[in-house]
Amino acid sequence: MSKVMIHATVSVDGFMADPVGGMDWMDGFPVAPEDEQIVEAICSDIGSIVGGANKTQTIEDGEIPYGGFLKVPVYLMTHSEQAAVEQDGTTFIFVVDDIEEAVRRARHDAGEKWVSLLGGRVARQCLTLGLVDELRLHVVPVVLGEGIPLFAGLEHQLRLERMETSAFASEVHLRYRVLRDVPASGD
């Protein structure tokens, strides 16, 4: 059965995009072959994606997660019914207001591979519902000061177990298992 992960590049202060959604700040840092190998290995294990639909609730030209090279089913959360869209070898399936259904369907499509969650709101909802197995984060050496946060607004404490940490050129790669049923402190 597939597992669910949050796979994201973040700034040191935990933002995944600048205030207007830009990600140009991720570019321009030295990258070692080992950095690229880590990202490629993670991406090769992704069997489906769950993310939030854009503001227009449609698919715009050039809008494909992971640069379009994964060619896996993408489930997008939306507030209104819409037929699936096929674009450049990627199928976008819209799910109306039911993140658990989107993850269930994505897990089915992923088979033995991973479901990758994209977007802060989707990630926080899935964490709150206990649907996330791992976090795979790439921390870029920049402090944005403001932007779109990955975890801000999470309604409860989250305990993690560090599985891997590596750094080669500029980025730090972190892998954590999400611990479930952890007793509250003092228990």
174: CB partners within 8 A, 6+ apart: 135, 136, 137, 138, 139, 162, 164, 165
Q: What is the pLDDT of residue 9?
A: 94
Q: What is the pLDDT of residue 174?
A: 97
Q: What is the pLDDT of residue 91?
A: 86
pLDDT tens digits, one per residue of 124-144 = 999 999 999 999 999 999 999
Q: What is the pLDDT of residue 58?
A: 58
At 67, is the pLDDT very low, low, confident or very high (cuts 50, 70, 90)? Answer: low
At 146, is the pLDDT very low, low, confident or very high (cuts 50, 70, 90)? Answer: very high
pLDDT > 90 in the chain, percent: 63
Q: What is the pLDDT of residue 88?
A: 78
Rounded to 5°, the CA angle 122-70-63 comes to 60
pLDDT > 70 in the chain, percent: 88
pLDDT tens digits, one per residue of 102-118 = 999 999 999 999 999 98
Q: Is the sign of the CA dihedral 119, 177, 185, 129 positive or negative?
A: positive
